[in-house]
Amino acid sequence: MDKQFFPEHFYWGASTASHQVEGGTVNQWTIWELAHAKQLSKTAEQRLDWLPDYKHIKSKVEDPQNYISGNGVEHFKRYKEDYRIAKSLNLNALRFGIEWSRVEPVEGQWDEEVFEHYRKMILEMKAKGLEPFLNLWHWTMPTWFADQGGFTKRGNVKFFERFVQKIADEFGHNLRHVITINEPNVYTTFSYLTKEWPPQEGNLLHAAMVIWNLVLAHKRAYKILKRKNSKLLVGVATQLANIQAKRPRNLFDEFSVKIMRYVWNWFFLNRIRRHQDFVGFNYYFSDYYTGFLKRDNPKVPVNDLGWYMEPEGLYPLLLRTWTHYKKPIFVTENGVADEQDQYRRWWLEETIIAMERAISEGVELKGYFHWSLLDNFEWKYGWWPKFGLVEVDRNDGMKRKVRPSAVWFAEKIKKI
């Protein structure tokens, strides 16, 4: 591979999210899991029997325990081991979260021991040569905040500001990169339109209020962080899709593409254009639209979740994002649900080629974070989807095992 494409100080990393790996969290999501685990297990077949390997996952998805995050993969306790593994994979950065419900379990009361624990995690990352990229909010919130309406109420943004200020005071000078909000478009859609996630509201007005309040939350967080440390680089991690017309030059298909690209990809980023030092986005999907807003993706290849896979779609998306904003870009998540590890190497190869092409055409791409470092709790799906570079056997003492695709990835990074 020609070394000229990737910048000398390119960040090769992996991502995690606190609730999905730490274990022992108590937030609005854990409450929802406990209340809905039995229902999710009973309805598993009608929801999931269309998946390509349903027979293989049947016993897992019909077990209520699958839907409870519980002890996670004990990353909160085993972070040193996980950082050693990350470094052995030749990574030089990690995206991680600070769980709001851990540091402020009761309104206005901070848990200083938890702050000290996160401080040790950050220092350990640095000691291992891993650049910490802190993600402030990844969908979970303290129960007291959810009970007051969460982000449906503009007045509640002040609580998020207070959290951000505390984080800035504690860690503002130990960090160089902060991501404020993860996938605001996904959270708003699944929690307030499709009713798949807590609080399961099908309420268009609340959805509109949430997305606007998240815009406001980011802007205020940006100002707080920059006041504390003007050298901090601050952005978001929205989800962007490579949205294409099923029938190029068809008026209806092209019209749908324009609407979806604006609403899904650019709406949030346009609102915060002047309040971001970089554009962070997560890429999983190439979506093809036909007729009026009808998604019609190819049937193969698909990953374990039934998602159509087109890793090379990252290339045109990088070009469009660069054209829109002309700011440094980080791919903050990108990966594939693949328990048997049959697609991950291919996905990584095609992704690296896509990034090379984009950089060769002038895109200022600064880093790539694979999702995920570890197998993790995958929200409404539970434990069965496997995204990790590192396999975690939760039935055998949380034993970690590096997947073959991760070994290949580590060697590839070494050669770049």
- Write the pLDDT tens digit of every residue in 230-258: 999 999 999 999 999 999 999 999 999 99
Q: Looking at the predicted structure, is the pLDDT value of residue 17 above 60?
A: yes
Whole-number Å distance between alpha carbons of 390 and 388: 5
Whole-number Å distance between alpha carbons of 70 and 64: 12
Q: Taking a C-beta distance cutoff of 8 angstroms, is the pair 386, 375 a contact? A: yes
- Two tokens at 9? 């100080």
Angle between helices 184-192 and 204-228 (to 10 degrees): 150
Mean per-residue pLDDT, 282-305? 98
What H or E segment, with its residue span, contains residue 158?
helix 157-171
Question: H-type helices in 247-387, by residue range?
Answer: 251-260, 267-271, 314-325, 344-360
Reported as a pLDDT band with limits 50, 70 and 90, residue 2 is very low
Whole-number Å distance between alpha carbons of 216 and 227: 17
235 forms beta bridges with 179
- Residue with tokens 């939760």, as numbered in its chain: 394
Q: Taking a C-beta distance cutoff of 8 angstroms, is the pair 15, 68 a contact? A: no
How far, rounded to the nearest angstrom, does the alpha carbon of residue 242 sit from its chain's CA centroid? 17
Q: Looking at the predicted structure, is the pLDDT value of residue 147 above 60?
A: yes
Name, in order, each residue with C-beta under 8 angstroms of 235's C-beta and a sequence gap of 6 or more: 177, 178, 179, 180, 276, 277, 278, 279, 280, 330
For residue 4, what pLDDT is reported? 63
Name, in order, each residue with C-beta under 8 angstroms of 62's C-beta and a sequence gap of 6 or more: 41, 42, 44, 45
Whole-number Å distance between alpha carbons of 18 and 49: 30
- Write the pLDDT tens digit of every residue in 370-380: 999 999 999 99
What percent of the chain shows pLDDT beyond 90? 99
Reported as a pLDDT band with limits 50, 70 and 90, residue 1 is very low
Angle between helices 112-127 and 157-171 (to 10 degrees): 50
- Write the pLDDT tens digit of every residue in 61-95: 999 999 999 999 999 999 999 999 999 999 999 99
Compute φ and ψ for 273, nearest 5 degrees. Answer: -50, -40
Coil/strand/helix, residue 50: coil
Reported as a pLDDT band with limits 50, 70 and 90, residue 342 is very high
Strand order in the sheet with 242-245: 242-245, 286-290, 294-295
Question: H-type helices in 193-308, by residue range?
Answer: 204-228, 251-260, 267-271
Q: Model-level pTM? A: 0.97
Omega within 30 of 0 (cis) for the link into 248: no
Q: Taking a C-beta distance cutoff of 8 angstroms, is the pair 334, 239 a contact? A: no
Mean per-residue pLDDT, 106-134? 98
Whole-number Å distance between alpha carbons of 324 and 279: 10
Mean per-residue pLDDT, 210-224? 98
State the CB neighbour count (10 A cutoff) for residue 399.
10
Whole-number Å distance between alpha carbons of 391 and 381: 17
Q: Looking at the predicted structure, is the pLDDT value of residue 104 above 90?
A: yes
For residue 52, what pLDDT is reported? 84
How many residues appear in the chain?
A: 416
Angle between helices 314-325 and 344-360 (to 10 degrees): 40
| Backbone Cα Rg of the chain | 20
Mean per-residue pLDDT, 374-397? 98
Coil/strand/helix, residue 331: strand
